[in-house]
Every structure is written in structure tokens, then in C-alpha cells.
Structure 1
Amino acid sequence: MVTVVSHPLVQHKLSLMRDTQTGVKEFRELASEVSLLLAYEAMRDLEIGPVRLSTPLETAEFPMLSGKKLALVAILRAGLIMTDAIVTLVPAAKVGHIGLYRDPQTLKPVAYYNKLPADIAERRVFLTDPMLATGGSASAAIQFLKDAGAQSIKLMSILAAPEGVAVIEKEHPDVEIVVAAIDRELNDHGYIVPGLGDAGDRIYGTK
């Protein structure tokens, strides 16, 4: 299942991210803001339950989060910008990291780091990676999470290519994808077009 968040604020901020004139500072801010808006949609189905509280006027029952606790897992390095933003919404969530890079020749993911919460199996996991391009890295990261016991996983990306979406839907049909947009295609180098360039390079100023 794919959810495209078409809210005007999301689309406006994404367009600014695409612009070559957008500098590093503004790009980072926009990536964080879009991540928060995506999280709002991705977490729409979080369970809530009644809790009895006292306001300054009376005691009554009010809704608060219940059910499984949350984990935010970033695919390094670019996914960090998303988890850092989203943790401000859910500060009790645990944070994990999966280090993958794409071999420039084969375009296949190569793992170099994997650090997850010990109780990942008991948590709802939100996996973050700004760009869902070939889908190889995201699929590998999802498999790492499943191998560690994770059973409830959502993938959050700012931008996706149809090819990457197809890979996740084929290899992990149980994982919902939440994105701001699905662009036209991948080019010969595995970049999303029209896209916004390399998200990691634009976030960290290494382009």
C-alpha cells in the first residue's frame, strides 16, 4: 500500500526542495518540515485509549497514545534528518540506525552498520529514507528489521520512483509506504527524475 501525502503544504515545501537555488540550510529545514508532515499522516492509525486526568476544573477521561511503543529507524546517512525531526513529535520513541550505501557499479545495497533497539520486536517501526529510488537499500533495511523481529513496519520517504515502489510492494507487500510524491522514473544512474538530486549531498552540503 502506498500513501501519497498531497497536502498543499507538503507539495509546496517539496517544490522548494527540488529547486537548485535552495541552499543547504533551507533544504535541511524543508526536509525536517516535510518529515513532520509525513509523520502526521503515517501515524494516523496509532492506537489511543482513555486515561483519567485532572484538569484545573475537573477530572475526566481523555485520549492518549496506547498500544505498542514506537521506534524510528534511519537508513544512514540521509534518513537521520527525518528521524531527528520526527522524534520531536514522539520523544519517547527509541531510535535505530541501519547503514547502507549503494554500490555505484551494481546499484545494489551494501551494509556497513546496523544498530537497533533491543526490543524492536515489540515496537511499531517507522523506517526513514528521503529517497526511495531503486528500492534496494530500503528493501534490505526492511529485511534487517524483520530478521531482528520487527512485525509492524512503515517506510517513510520524501520522494519515490515507481521502480522503487514496485520493489517494496513485491518483496515486502506487508509494508506501507508513505511519500510526498512519486516521480516519473529513474535515470541510467539510478537517480529519481525529475527528482531533487542526491538528498544526502544536499542535506550535508557535500555535493
Structure 2
Amino acid sequence: MRVHVADHPLITHKLTVLRDKNTASATFRALTEELVTLLAYEATRNVRVNEVTIETPVATTTGVALSEPRPLVVPILRAGLGMLEGMVKLVPTAEVGFLGMVRNEETLEPSTYAERLPDDLSDRQCFVLDPMLATGGSLGAAIDFLFKRGAIDVTAICLLAAPEGVAALEKRTAGRDVTLVLGALDEKLNELGYIIPGLGDAGDRLYGTV
């Protein structure tokens, strides 16, 4: 598994505002969208393209276009939904699927309660959106789900991650073509499985249900 932690002052600045407990939900949502667009720029560095020939107003030249089948963007509900707009702004022709996953707060294990994905993901590049990589359970289960459907490579985009979650995901995805793109790698998990220093529950803060 390849891990890329974005090192950019704009990303760090926006994350600092997200972490602040006094940041309002509306601001939190707007900054999340902006952050995901910045992270998506790094995450799509190896997106597949084909060479094409075009006519400019003055000459013939070659460029590239996204290959078929188009990339598939998969937000993990509910918090991943707050990241979707930032991703499709950068890749508007991507297809979108959904995975609904919830973590049991006692066992910390994830379960899937909804999915809207193509039955066959053969030869597809998939981009999974999940704000927080804590224990790695939900994201790991989502990645397993996509590979079982035939995906050839999966890139996960997270705002924050804990080292424990990164290690768990690396072990779970061994031998698969997986890339993890992060806004920041935080210190640790606490006894409740929350990232420290983190930013709290991303879903609650996105939708004002704290």
C-alpha cells in the first residue's frame, strides 16, 4: 500500500480550522469540500488516460482524455457524502456509487447497511472517500467490497488518519493495488477509538448533529 501525506500549507491551514471545536457546520462543510479537491489532485495523479488528437484555433496537437471505463467515486455514508462535491468538482465525468457503513461503538467493527454500486467493477479505478481513518475497519471493509466486485486498483482519500488505522489497512490490503492519500497523519487513537488530536466525529460536525 502506498501512503501519501499531503504536505501543503493550505491543507494544514484548512485542517486547523476544521479541528477547532468552535468552527460552525456550514464552515466545516465548505472547508471539507475545498480540502477534498486539493487532496483529489494528488489522488488522481495516476488516473488512466488515453492520448487524443484535437484542433486548437491555430494548430493540431495531442492531449489526453480520461480512459473508459470512467473512474468510480465511492463515498462511505454518511460522513463521506460531505466529501463528494469536492471530488466531482475535479473529476466531473466520474461515476458515483455509495456504501453505507456504520461502526459498532463497542466492538469497533463495521457493518454494511446499504450499497449502490455496479455489479461488475472489472477494470475500474475506484476512489473511496472517508474523512477519518481511525481503526481502519470501515475503510478496509469498503476496499474489500470493491475488490470482490472486480476493481483493479483503489485509492482512499481521508482528511485525517491515526497510525493504528494506517497499519491495519496496510496489513489488510497486502498484495492489492491500494493508495492512501491523507491530509494529515495524527498522533494516535484514544481508548474509544477516536483520533487524537483529530477533529471529533466528522459526520456530526458536517451535519450539525453534535
Q: If the TM-score is normalised by the length of the shorter chain, which range does it land in?
A: over 0.9
Per-residue Cα deviation, 1:27-61 (whole angstroms, up to 9, x for no partner): 00110111001100011112334321111222222
Structure 2 distance, partners of 1:90, 1:50, is: 18
Please name the residue that 2:203 is paired with. 200
Query: Aligned to 1:88, what secondary structure does the other structure show?
Result: helix
Q: Tell whether the 8 Å contact from 1:94 to 1:117 is kept in structure 2 after alignment.
A: no
- Percent sequence identity is 49
Is 1:99–2:95 an aligned residue pair?
no
Give the aligned length: 207
**Runs of 5+ consecutive residues of structure 2 not aligned to the other structure:** none
Residues 182-193 of structure 1: matches in 2 within 5 Å? 182-193=185-196
Structure 2 distance, partners of 1:140, 1:118, is: 17
Residues 20-99 of structure 1: matches in 2 within 5 Å? 20-66=21-67, 68-99=69-100
Q: Tell whether the 8 Å contact from 2:35 to 2:86 is kept in structure 1 after alignment.
A: no
Query: Aligned to 2:71, what secondary structure does the other structure show?
Result: strand
Instruction: Calculate the TM-score normalised by the size of structure 1.
Output: 0.95
User: Aligned AA for 2:135?
Assistant: T
**Runs of 5+ consecutive residues of structure 1 not aligned to the other structure:** none
Please name the residue that 2:179 is paired with. 176
User: Aligned AA for 1:23?
Assistant: A
Instruction: Calculate the TM-score normalised by the size of structure 2.
Output: 0.94
Query: Aligned to 2:30, what secondary structure does the other structure show?
Result: helix
Structure 2 distance, partners of 1:155, 1:61, is: 31
Per-residue Cα deviation, 1:98-137 (whole angstroms, up to 9, x for no partner): 1111111111101101111244223100011000001011
Aligned structure 1 segments of 4 or more residues deviating by more than 6 angstroms: none
Residues 117-196 of structure 1: matches in 2 within 5 Å? 117-173=118-174, 174=176, 175-196=178-199
Per-residue Cα deviation, 1:179-202 (whole angstroms, up to 9, x for no partner): 011111111111101000100000
Q: Tell whether the 8 Å contact from 1:71 to 1:94 is kept in structure 2 after alignment.
A: yes
